[in-house]
Structure 1
């Protein structure tokens, strides 16, 4: 019997040691080692399709990010800028391509950051959840939030291209929609003019008793300021098939609704009711696009009216 307990003890110790080792290796790889594409030479954005790579953070060279751009020949300083946030596939170039014709017709400078991550299926917190917390649950400083990276990119393009715009617009679909609505909620001081969150998989509700990302517990959220921002919750009338894309089915996610259309509706009205209860200004809108499902190209086309006006 003693021999059995000694064996069990050794197995437990070995298991704990292996788990600790994997945790240390994972932390070092994700949060210590430099990663990302090679930094490109500083240059102005060319007309047509272009890209550049910069450091994601202003205080560190540990992480770089590739940024895709499209600029019409007719675009000039003070014309509108639109950040386009990709979905869970991290395919920023595809999203950029979907906006090229729209950019030409409406004279828009398109900026599409690529939050590349080899383990994106398992570490969604680094993108659509804003990188507020590490994969292991520790808080990240605000200067390393994914939302801050967007602001850093805006500063970069302004300085390098002598752009004087004080605001930018932002559109995100699916995982990108999650990114956008959380950025508005958690970073209302950002320089967003119009934010459009399209077909998000699930939402952060204004509930202080729910842990992030389902609620705002342990976050310094100022909803009164967030509600002053112009956020459009863009929903597809046919986006009611949970089998499309990556769809979270945890108990807390399912409480928001059985599909994306229902969840988006829940999110909007819960926030509107809270703003009404507190007599706060509420500058959010909900718009349901008829005959459109989980389609980022068609949702992009539907976003244009909100950006133009």
Structure 2
């Protein structure tokens, strides 16, 4: 009997030691070791397609990020800059390519950051949920938020290219739509002019009792003053009339997600309605809009085309 207990204790200790080793190894890999492609030389953006790699965070070389670009020949300082946020496939170059003709027709400088992650099929906290929390649910500093990275990229292209623009516009589809609407809510002080959140899979509702990312609980954001300030930003919730098939793309089906609606079209409508109702209840100004694109489903190219009128407006 004593021998059996000793064996059991050893097995438990070895198991705990193994789990601890896995956790420590994971922490070191994810949050200590440098990650990302090699940083490129700082040069001015070339006309046409291009890309560069920069450090994602200020005063840290722990993470780098590749940024895909398109610059029309006629683009000049003070013309519009549009950040294009990719979906869950993290295919920023494809999203950039989808905007080439739109950029030429409307003289837009396209900036498409690539939030690369080998384990993106296992975790979404680093991108569409803003990197507010680590994989282990501990809080990251605001300097490490994914939204801050966008602001850092804007500063970088301004300084390297002698650009004096004070604002940029931003479009995101699917996971990128999640990113955009959360950036408006969680970082309303950002320098976004017009934001278009298209076909997001689910939303962060203005509810301090709901756990993030479904609500705002456990974040630094409060209804007053943060969400009130977010309502002063120009956000367009862009929905596809035919984006009512949950089998398309990655669709979250947790209990809290399903309470938002049966599909993306319903969830987007409910999200907009909840925020509009909150603004009216508190007599806050409300600068958000909702637009449903006819005969379009979960298609980032067609949704991109239909977002330009809002960016140009």
| TM-score for the superposition, normalised by structure 2 | 0.97
2:267 maps to 263
2:119 maps to 119
Out of 278, 283, 290, the position equivalent to 1:286 is 290
SS at match of 1:126: coil
1:88 maps to 88
2:71 maps to 71
SS at match of 1:185: helix
Cα distance in 2 for residues equivalent to 1:244 and 1:134? 28
1:83-162 residue pairs with structure 2 within 5 A?
83-162=83-162
2:175 maps to 175
Cα distance in 1 for residues equivalent to 2:11 and 2:238? 52
Cα distance in 2 for residues equivalent to 1:261 and 1:8? 54
1:229 maps to 233
Deviation at 1:6, TM superposition (A): 3.6
1:297 maps to 301
Unpaired runs of at least 5, structure 2:
none
Deviation at 1:273, TM superposition (A): 0.6
Aligned alpha-carbon RMSD (Å) = 0.9
Deviation at 1:3, TM superposition (A): 4.1
Establish whether residue 248 from structure 1 lines up as the match of residue 252 from structure 2. Answer: yes
Cα distance in 1 for residues equivalent to 2:183 and 2:6? 52
Cα distance in 2 for residues equivalent to 1:22 and 1:184? 36
Cα distance in 2 for residues equivalent to 1:192 and 1:41? 27
Cα distance in 1 for residues equivalent to 2:177 and 2:183? 10
Residues 248-282 of structure 1 show CA distances to partners (whole Å, capped at 9, x for unaligned) of 11111111011111111111111111111011011
1:153-232 residue pairs with structure 2 within 5 A?
153-221=153-221, 222-232=226-236
Equivalenced residues, count = 309
SS at match of 1:124: coil
Cα distance in 2 for residues equivalent to 1:165 and 1:20? 49
1:23 maps to 23
Deviation at 1:165, TM superposition (A): 0.6
Cα distance in 2 for residues equivalent to 1:242 and 1:121? 18
Unpaired runs of at least 5, structure 1:
none
Deviation at 1:2, TM superposition (A): 4.2
